[in-house]
Structure 1
Amino acid sequence: MRTTGTKDAVSVLVIEDDDVIGRHVEAGLRSNGYTVTWTRTGGSGLVEARRLPTDVVLLDLGLPDMDGIDVARQLRDDHPDVLILILTARSEEIDVIVGLDAGADDYLVKPFSLTVLLARLRAHLRRRSAGPPGPSEPVRIGDLTVDITARRCRLGDREVELRPKEFELLAVLIKHPGEAVSRETLMARVWDENWFGPTKTLDVTMSSLRRRLHAAAASSAVPLALPEFTTLRGHGYRLEPPATQGEGADDISQTYPGDPGHSSYRL
Structure 2
Amino acid sequence: MSHILLVEDDPRISAFIIKGLKSSGYAATHEENGKVAYAVAKAVEFDLIILDIGLPGIDGFTLMQKLRAEGITTPIIMLTARDSVSDTVQGLESGANDYMTKPFQFAELLARIRLRLADRSPGSDAAAYVLQAGDLSLDLRTREVQTAGAPVELTSREFALLETFLRHHNQVLSREQLLGMVWGMDFDPNSNIVDVYIRALRKKIGEGRIVTVRGTGYKFQ
TM over 0.5: yes
Runs (4+) of structure 1 exceeding 3 A deviation are: 130-133, 191-195
Q: Which of 33, 38, 45 lines up with 2:37 in the alignment?
A: 45
Match of 1:112 among 104, 108, 115: 104
Amino acid paired to 1:19: P
2:141 to 192, 203, 220: 192
Structure having the higher helix fraction is 2
1:26 corresponds to which of 11, 15, 18? 18
SS at match of 1:43: helix
Please say if residues 47 and 117 of structure 2, whose CA atoms lie closer than 8 Å, have aligned partners that are also in contact. no
The 2-side partners of 1:123 and 1:130 are apart by 13
Partners of 1:129 and 1:192 in 2: CA distance: 15
SS at match of 1:126: helix
Aligned-residue offset at 1:77: 2.1
| Cα drift, residue 130 of structure 1 | 5.4
SS of the equivalent of 2:67 reads helix
Does the CA contact (< 8 Å) of 1:123 and 1:194 recur in 2?
no
Distance 1:47 1:13, change over 3 A: same
Tell whether the 8 Å contact from 2:5 to 2:29 is kept in structure 1 after alignment. Answer: yes
**Cα distance in structure 1, aligned partners of 2:122 and 2:43:** 27
- Secondary structure of the residue aligned to 1:33 is coil
Alpha-carbon distance in structure 1 between the residues aligned to 2:121 and 2:143? 16
Equivalent in the alignment of 1:145: none
Where does structure 1 lack aligned partners over 5 or more consecutive residues? 1-8, 134-190, 196-267
Higher RCO (C-alpha 8 Å, min separation 6): 2
Look up the equivalent residue of 2:34 and give its one-letter code: G
1:193-233 CA distance string (max 9 Å, x none): 349xxxxxxxxxxxxxxxxxxxxxxxxxxxxxxxxxxxxxx
Shift of 1:21: 0.4
User: Cα distance, 1:131 vs. partner?
Assistant: 4.3
Structure 1 192/78 Cα, relative in aligned 2: closer, same or farther at 3 Å? farther
Alignment of 1:237-252 (within 5 A): none
Q: How far apart are the structure 2 equivalents of 1:124 and 1:68?
A: 19
Quote the Cα distance in structure 2 between the aligned partners of 1:44 and 1:120: 25
Aligned-partner Cα distance in 1 for 2:53–2:35: 13
The number of equivalent residue pairs is 130
Please give the TM-score of this superposition, normalised by the length of structure 2.
0.55
The change in CA–CA distance for 1:17 and 1:30 in structure 2 (over 3 A counts) is same
1:77 to 69, 72, 75: 69
Aligned CA RMSD, in angstroms, stands at: 1.9
Per-residue deviation, 1:23: 0.5
Paired residues of 2:48 and 2:117 also in contact (CA < 8 A) = no
SS at match of 2:121: helix
Q: What is residue 90 of structure 1 aligned with on the other side?
A: 82
Offset, 1:65:
1.8
Q: State the percentage of identical aligned residues.
A: 36
Shift of 1:87: 0.6
Q: CA deviation at 1:120?
A: 0.7
Counterpart residue number, 2:93: 101
TM-score (norm 1): 0.46
Q: What is the distance in 1 between the residues matched to 2:14 and 2:35?
A: 17
- C-alpha displacement of 1:12: 0.5
Aligned partners of 1:94 and 1:132: how far apart in 2?
32
Where does residue 155 of structure 2 map in the other structure?
none
